[in-house]
Structure 1
């Protein structure tokens, strides 16, 4: 019988789960994962992040219907897990081989023929510096590669799971898509695919997500401890059901399915395109955004409540206009694909902050008394000791940005877009700054036409990180790699601006273009 694995609606309860990294796998996903790792009827199975025991239940169901016994082994660091597992219907006999121990840094001595994991999803900023250093040291020893410090615990769990896999064994691993989209992903997956056989990757349409209500895009990786292969199966799941996935993963990849789409893929192509993304179209792109513009993140204030204020508050404090710049603080303050001065006036009239305090290059004693009083209030609130502020000299010095002619809303649900900046504002970190390499208005207008075309916007998925409900996030360097449709570039005559750099274009053309 299926159990309730819904994510709690309460923010407090959800935050408690985030601290532990616990998000339970639904039964239907556990069933196809268990079917994959138990295909060869192994005698032992390990779940190194036991949680509520959903994988133990799935393994028992699969083994019972196929007439074999499998011993269940588990790990977790949460002492209350055994109580939750028993409450789910597991017996003392089912849990007799479960240990409360750290799987990554205190691993089991023996290897296992079947491992199934929903790892704790704890992002790097929730780990201590000591934990990060220990984990990075483990990864360095295990892989011979440096894993970027922004990798979360789920990355190290994957490495340890592979090391704990017996020869010929199978691993099923459900995890967020950032494991193959983050800055650490290239080194990680080159190591995996050079040592293990990637059998399949299962992606999920928003209507079939295993974790509804959670802002993450899940993937399931199915990996064998066999000689690496050059091809694998990539599956897009459109219905939250296990049957077709079980049939497909048992070798029936050529059958016609109604709830899943099956693609045979070459490993090298998938590593280049991205394991979370569908197969690349057979289209080469000569041009990228970085050929025509550079990209920077918006301004980090360190404390928006203090530095970013409404026009009425600025007047109330008596701070002169000369110490402010007009700014945009959130994406939803921009209603369309452009922002003009009348939009800023509208925001001011509705009480939205539009004034960014920028006191740079003026000695404290030369500031108006009203400003001195306000800065002393900030000191009394402890602002100079805040993480992003304490390295600044003086502490109230603000980051600066030239006004970007184009901005980019880099994280949104089906609404990531380029925004024409007609108001002359600077953005905070909710937006990216796009600076065309030519300042001529005609060039900027032509580049804007290319960027605002739907085909260009569709290409964002080729360079962005995927999140739940169709959201994508694109970082500055990734946005510079955004492919631009060749015919659009030529139609606007942008290629002529690159003639002096033709040698660079030829080099990029020969290199592997990331699409």
Structure 2
């Protein structure tokens, strides 16, 4: 299913300037489905702020023959002899647009596995029908009643086309699942929801969604992605299904913002299993790895965690673990339970020793982060220059020295962070500030929030910084150069006075295999060895008591059990 937010933009483009290929595909699929007698879609509920737009789309749908060219329809007809509607549809958008729409079609093997979850195979309700992948698999498995909801009228008709040969009752609602009031009963509710992130949801639509969610007695974070809204509604409607299954990014269970949702899930005890596809990209253009959730309307006291591998012809279960619900911590990531080894649990958390925060965010690196040559070009004084490290590839080691920084400077890399507020009396600084105004730097979203747009936040050099988005393993870097890292790194600032030897001991441990195992457990896995960790998640990494006992400056603060 695609998000309301992105479809608003696309629908506007279709109405104002129709795309010949997309409209021809839409027309041909709708016409063919009509000829086969496939039941028409039923109009549902939409965001109030977009009702006029959806009325226009309905009119467009009913008059497609006036917008398509005969040769375009013939091209679609010929193409469908050897290709799928999904392939033709995807060609209308580049992968960036499809990613921002939150649209990722479910692979057939995964769809079959999810549809097979219910022992009863009479009725199915597909939330976000898309092109009908789940419903096609359900027909193969003997389901009789096929129901679904989809916000895209184009995908509604592609789904009808794909289901033209199947027998049974079909009811597809064209509407917004998060607002639709009359949802059907079914043996199985199933969904691959839009992966749309919070900032891509228009504010007025988000307010409607939040109001609905809050009416359930649950407060969801305003910065939750759209799939979290879907998940909450599915759980709220559990009286309407016997079983439910849902595929979404692992961040649903691993994000620092998911603790309220996990507390709610632990209270209701309806999760049977989580299946994780660790370090594997199931959806080609998605940024994160997926997890399949299996729900039962009856309560369960344990959850099964499976580590799975999608292969060409099958899905292999690599490992399986059970955890009692009472043992699960809503403040920790869950999906790595499926793949983790036994981790250290006796010690103190890294967040007790360090304040962990992102490096400096400038809001305009090309203006605020300069090379030596650029500094000379604008004749900027030393007083406004702060030594920095701007990119992770500038340090591939586990320490960063003054010699490393000098080498980058000699190579023409950006090594200076500017704080222009340090010397406004300089004519060259004033000239550079005026240049920034002309370039529109002062009006950029982050920059304009500062009291003085050209003033950088004040930071001390952290003794250790870390690559928070890493391939295979992170690098905890000893900051021997005394630089201020940019926000591609996380900075570790001691909360207590630590000696140089103690900092080095902690740094060595953080790069050890034991610590890396913890990092991999805590990090969000984006597939293909890509790991990302947020500051509040890194807080949870445990420093073992054995190491703490060797640091004299820590023994004063830590009570050992």
Unaligned runs of 5+ in 2: 1-81
SS in structure 2 of the partner of residue 468 of structure 1: coil
| Structure 1 position 440 matched with structure 2 position 521 | no
TM-score, structure 2 as length reference: 0.79
Q: Which residue of 1 aligns with 2:173?
A: 99
Kept in 2, the 8 Å contact 1:237–1:260? The answer is yes
Question: CA 1:425–1:12 in structure 2 vs 1: closer, same or farther (change >3 Å)?
Answer: farther
Q: CA deviation at 1:260?
A: 3.1
Q: Which residue of 2 aligns with 1:253?
A: none
Question: CA 1:7–1:348 in structure 2 vs 1: closer, same or farther (change >3 Å)?
Answer: farther
Q: CA deviation at 1:90?
A: 4.5
CA distance in 2, matches of 1:11, 1:449: 51
SS in structure 2 of the partner of residue 80 of structure 1: helix
Mapping of 1:217-366 within 5 angstroms?
217-226=289-298, 228-240=299-311, 259-272=317-330, 273-278=332-337, 281=342, 283-362=344-423, 364=424, 366=425
Question: CA 1:454–1:3 in structure 2 vs 1: closer, same or farther (change >3 Å)?
Answer: farther
Structure 1 window deviating more from structure 2 (198-207 vs 300-309): it is 198-207
| Structure 1 position 47 matched with structure 2 position 126 | yes
Structure 1 window deviating more from structure 2 (262-271 vs 229-238): it is 262-271
Report how many aligned residue pairs link the two structures. 476
Kept in 1, the 8 Å contact 2:139–2:166? The answer is no
Kept in 1, the 8 Å contact 2:184–2:240? The answer is no
Question: CA 1:318–1:283 in structure 2 vs 1: closer, same or farther (change >3 Å)?
Answer: closer
Q: CA deviation at 1:407?
A: 0.5
SS in structure 2 of the partner of residue 419 of structure 1: strand
Question: CA 1:443–1:184 in structure 2 vs 1: closer, same or farther (change >3 Å)?
Answer: closer
Q: Which residue of 1 aligns with 2:438?
A: 380
TM-score, structure 1 as length reference: 0.85
CA distance in 1, matches of 2:344, 2:476: 23
| Structure 1 position 406 matched with structure 2 position 464 | yes
Mapping of 1:483-498 within 5 angstroms?
483-490=542-549, 493-494=550-551, 496-498=552-554
Kept in 2, the 8 Å contact 1:234–1:264? The answer is yes
Residues 470-490 of structure 1: per-residue CA shift (max 9 Å, x gap): 322222222222112333434
Q: Which residue of 2 aligns with 1:513?
A: none
Q: Which residue of 1 aligns with 2:156?
A: 82
| Selected match of 2:536 from 460, 471, 477 | 477
- CA RMSD of superposed structures (Å): 2.8
Question: CA 1:109–1:476 in structure 2 vs 1: closer, same or farther (change >3 Å)?
Answer: closer
| Selected match of 1:394 from 447, 452, 463 | 452
Q: Which residue of 2 aligns with 1:125?
A: 199
SS in structure 2 of the partner of residue 47 of structure 1: strand
Kept in 2, the 8 Å contact 1:202–1:221? The answer is yes
Residues 97-125 of structure 1: per-residue CA shift (max 9 Å, x gap): 11210000224343332111000110011
CA distance in 1, matches of 2:535, 2:232: 28
Question: CA 1:8–1:448 in structure 2 vs 1: closer, same or farther (change >3 Å)?
Answer: farther
Residues 279-302 of structure 1: per-residue CA shift (max 9 Å, x gap): 672752222212332212100101
Question: CA 1:299–1:276 in structure 2 vs 1: closer, same or farther (change >3 Å)?
Answer: same
CA distance in 2, matches of 1:122, 1:95: 31
Kept in 2, the 8 Å contact 1:337–1:419? The answer is yes
CA distance in 2, matches of 1:218, 1:175: 5
Q: CA deviation at 1:369?
A: 1.9
SS in structure 2 of the partner of residue 125 of structure 1: helix
CA distance in 1, matches of 2:354, 2:483: 18
SS in structure 2 of the partner of residue 299 of structure 1: coil
CA distance in 2, matches of 1:447, 1:283: 15
Q: Which residue of 1 aligns with 2:111?
A: 30
SS in structure 1 of the partner of residue 449 of structure 2: coil
